[in-house]
Chains A and B, each alone.
Chain A
Amino acid sequence: MTRYAMTIDLRRCVGCQTCTAACKNANATPPGVQWRRVLDLETGEFPDVRRSFVPVACMHCDEPPCEEVCPTKATTKRADGLVAIDYDTCIGCANCVMACPYEARSIVHEAKFAYGDKPIKSEEVRFDSARIGVSMKCTFCIDRIDLAAKTGQVPGRDWEVTPACVNSCISGAMAFGDLDDPDSKVSRLIAENKTFRMHEELGTGPGVYYIWDKG
């Protein structure tokens, strides 16, 4: 079996938002919609102040609440762990948006472009009308994962089949791979470090592990 997952080393993340930009570029999300973003958290009081950066997106949960509530079966949990959306089936009811505790989903009801009503050339090429009026979110760059199944490449190791955010990370904070492969980078990082998953108490089984200390 395969269970794709991501690790994010919070000790390494510098909050540069390169992953945010890479995601936007790879997935052509409309203005105001970020499938991946980096939270900026300042805590404490002078002189004991900390600043933490937390990249967030769809957690591709083991028990996705979005899938459970979806009335159309547009949202499905794949055998490889990815939570996918069928844009041609979704009715845009937003029930999944309410069910997701990670604020990962968005619905845009009309076409929006970076500079006014008309798309610029790069937007025109990649504009997908199927995503208007339906739920959308991070896919873990699902087209790349599917490509790996055809080429035999390994997601997380071969860049062509690795999510754009992971490829772009300047500090090496993000890693991607198969949790069921004990030799994968994510499996080793999880085994060697202390990790947590966001809102684990909700029982969603997120597929993103945050590294916060050495093991």
Chain B
Amino acid sequence: MKTPKIRPGERVAPRQQHNWDWRAASNFIAGGAGGGLLAFAAFASLWGTDVRALLVAGMALIGAGLTCVWLEIGKPWRALNVYRHAATSWMTREAAVAPFVFGCGALALFTGQPLFVLLTGVFGACFVYAQARILAADKGIPAWRHPRCLPLVAATGFAEGASLLAVATPFVIPQVAGQVAVATAVLVLLLVRVLLWRNYLRGLRSDGAPVGSLRALSAIDGSFLKYGNLLPAILLLVGVLGAPLAGAALVLAGFAAVAGGWWFKYTLVRRAAYTQGFALPHLPVRGRGTSGPAVKPGWGGA
């Protein structure tokens, strides 16, 4: 039996989206890391850690991400219209969480009340989740709407937040036990991220996805695992084992894990973001009187 070859004309197969550029990607990169950092800063505060600098850093990251996306939208002076559709839009919900993050964060900084620190962390976590839901709701991009994408994006935001805490640990948590606890938490989160990443790639390949998405994600697979996860894991183990320069190992591990997560998110939002394309379950009956087989140009896996 002959395999039907397809020569699609212009814009039949999936194509890379160009409406969301580095500015939109920056919102997911910085916002996710910032929200995650706020969540873990709040967690660390339960043990009496002074997390004021971490709160400032988390809010600055979220603010930077939102500023980037504000610079991208077509009508920036209408930006407040974003609050009109809380019923179904996760973009509205993300935007709605932001004032609570900044409000509680400011109150935490000025009053020092633990309640506000905790609330800031909770809203930071909500921000990360809302961002993951924004991508999941975009049905036009198969790599985003895949059900295994949402937990991965959320997990990487929290892994980045914990990793940023690891970067700060030598400066804000002097006790060895505390440093070991942070390193262990980051190790666990990196393990979760790796498992979700592999699960996501497997799911995309088995369920089918645009060839461009599979190619872009496969291209970073090895490096993401090695430099974004394995290298920081080794450094964290060095920190946990209390080797000399354990503090430096924590800092380096944190930066490597964050860089890995940011690289993954940039790839997901920009390079792997291919559209659905078009498909015909039946070719029309013409001339010879028979229908042709189904066609779905530009898709791979499955």
A198 CB within 8 Å of chain B? yes
Shortest distance from the beta carbon of A87 to any chain B beta carbon, whole Å: 9
B74 x A43 contact (CB < 8 A):
no
A212 CB within 8 Å of chain B? yes
A213 CB within 8 Å of chain B? yes
List A contacts of B281 (CB < 8 A).
Answer: 196
B79 CB within 8 Å of chain A? yes
The CA of A199 and the CA of B279, in the complex, are separated in Å by: 7
A205 CB within 8 Å of chain B? no
B4 x A98 contact (CB < 8 A):
no
A71 CB within 8 Å of chain B? yes
The CA of A48 and the CA of B288, in the complex, are separated in Å by: 11
A98 x B74 contact (CB < 8 A):
no
List A contacts of B301 (CB < 8 A).
Answer: none
B284 CB within 8 Å of chain A? yes
User: Which of B35-43, B121-129, B137-145, B160-168 is the contact stretch?
Assistant: B137-145
Q: How many A residues, CB 8 Å from partner?
A: 55
List A contacts of B88 (CB < 8 A).
Answer: 67-69
* Interface range, B side: 35 or more
A10-B284 CB under 8 A given contacts A43-B4, A68-B88, A72-B84: yes
A120 CB within 8 Å of chain B? no
List A contacts of B275 (CB < 8 A).
Answer: 101, 103
List A contacts of B293 (CB < 8 A).
Answer: 43
**Pair count A-B, CB < 8 A:** 183
A101-B276 CB under 8 A given contacts A69-B89, A71-B92, A212-B283: yes
Report whether over half of chain A's contact residues are helix, strand or loop; otherwise say mixed: mixed
Residues in A173-215 with C-beta less than 8 Å from chain B: 194, 196, 198-199, 202, 204, 210-214
Q: Which residue of B lies closest to A100 (CB)?
A: B140
Shortest distance from the beta carbon of A135 to any chain B beta carbon, whole Å: 8
List A contacts of B73 (CB < 8 A).
Answer: 91-94
List A contacts of B15 (CB < 8 A).
Answer: 103
Chain B residues proximal to chain A, CB less than 8 Å: 2, 4-12, 15, 17, 19-20, 24, 69, 72-76, 78-79, 81-85, 88-92, 95, 134, 137-141, 144, 273, 275-276, 278-286, 291-293, 295, 297
Q: A58-99 vs B: 1/0 string, CB under 8 Å?
A: 000000010111111110000000000000011111110111
A118 CB within 8 Å of chain B? no
B278 x A198 contact (CB < 8 A):
yes
A39 CB within 8 Å of chain B? yes
B278 x A56 contact (CB < 8 A):
yes
The CA of A196 and the CA of B285, in the complex, are separated in Å by: 13
Name 19 extra pairs, CB < 8 A, besides A44-B2, A74-B81.
A10-B280, A39-B9, A41-B8, A43-B295, A48-B2, A50-B283, A52-B292, A65-B138, A71-B95, A72-B85, A89-B78, A91-B75, A91-B78, A94-B73, A98-B140, A132-B74, A134-B75, A199-B276, A212-B285
List B contacts of A72 (CB < 8 A).
Answer: 78, 81-82, 84-85
List B contacts of A112 (CB < 8 A).
Answer: none
List B contacts of A117 (CB < 8 A).
Answer: none
A54 CB within 8 Å of chain B? yes
The CA of A52 and the CA of B87, in the complex, are separated in Å by: 41
Shortest distance from the beta carbon of B150 to any chain A beta carbon, whole Å: 14
Shortest distance from the beta carbon of A67 to any chain B beta carbon, whole Å: 8
List B contacts of A40 (CB < 8 A).
Answer: 9-10, 12
